[in-house]
Amino acid sequence: MPPATESEIHKLQIKGSAKLVTEFFNYGLNTILYQRGVYPPEDFSAVKKYGLTMMTSLDDQVKAYLKKITSQLQKWLLKSKISKLVVVITSKETGEHVERWQFDVNIFNNNSPVPKSSSGATSAATDKENSDPTAAAAEKSDAEIQSDIQSLFRQITASVTFLPVLDGNCTFNVLVYADADSEVPLEWGDSDAKEVKNAEKVMLRSFSTNSHRIDTVVSYRLAE
């Protein structure tokens, strides 16, 4: 069998990285919903992942919704069509956006992030009621990547120490910033950025594979 070409290695690298990042987003969305009390604790089940105990939703509607999102995310990641994913928590009573988790997706090419082309936010909303790829591949081991992801999840969990308690019932939206020429599922619609007014922002840890880097920031409204 002939040795793999650099382009083949790069494609395999991107594929593996896209799967890993998609998996991170799935657990990240579940963790935020659990930690921030968007759904009650009894709606979640404990599983082991990244050497940690992670909470995942038992609600069939939420599971189907998250599966739909992550399935589409993986397709866009493979084609380098996504620049960020955002989770917005909104008060049902007031309609105000009270918290916003932003995950910036940087694509590596020749070990440098590639600037994304202009992209727009696409919303999938839910409401429970209603270039030397071989050199790049040697840079970071699976154990190092898992350790970085573990550290980020520990930080997300610890964020409850500084984030205000969410009053009343809340719902959430997921926004995906995809390139303008991306194929978008029919049920997804355009959205504004759903920014939190007068927000405080905290930059959390980043993690990177050999193809992607994920930077994380949470914006929140200070308690009045």
Q: Per residue in 83-102, pLDDT tens?
A: 999 999 999 999 999 999 99
Residues 213, 204: Cα–Cα separation, whole Å: 13
Residues 209, 145: Cα–Cα separation, whole Å: 6
Q: Residue 188's CB: how many other CB atoms inside 10 A?
A: 17
Write down the pLDDT at residue 122: 54
Query: What is the pTM for the complete model shown?
Result: 0.82
E strands, the chain, in order? 44-49, 52-57, 82-91, 97-109, 112-114, 119-126, 170-179, 189-190, 199-203, 207-208, 212-221
Tens digits of residue pLDDT in 173-214: 999 998 888 888 777 777 878 899 989 999 999 999 888 999
Percent of the chain whose predicted confidence (pLDDT) is above 90: 58
As given in the structure block, the two tokens for residue 108 are 């590596």
Residues 216, 205: Cα–Cα separation, whole Å: 6
Residue 45 has pLDDT above 90, yes or no: yes
For residue 200, what are the contacts with CB-CB under 8 A and spacing of at least 6?
219, 220, 221, 222
As given in the structure block, the two tokens for residue 163 are 């984030």
Count of residues in the chain: 224
Q: Residue 209 carries which DSSP code?
A: -
What are 54's strand-pairing partners? Answer: 47
* pLDDT greater at residue 125 or residue 166: 166
CB 25, CB 73: distance < 8 Å: yes
Domains and CATH numbers, the chain: 6-221 (3.30.900.10)
For residue 11, what are the contacts with CB-CB under 8 A and spacing of at least 6?
none
What are 49's strand-pairing partners? Answer: 52
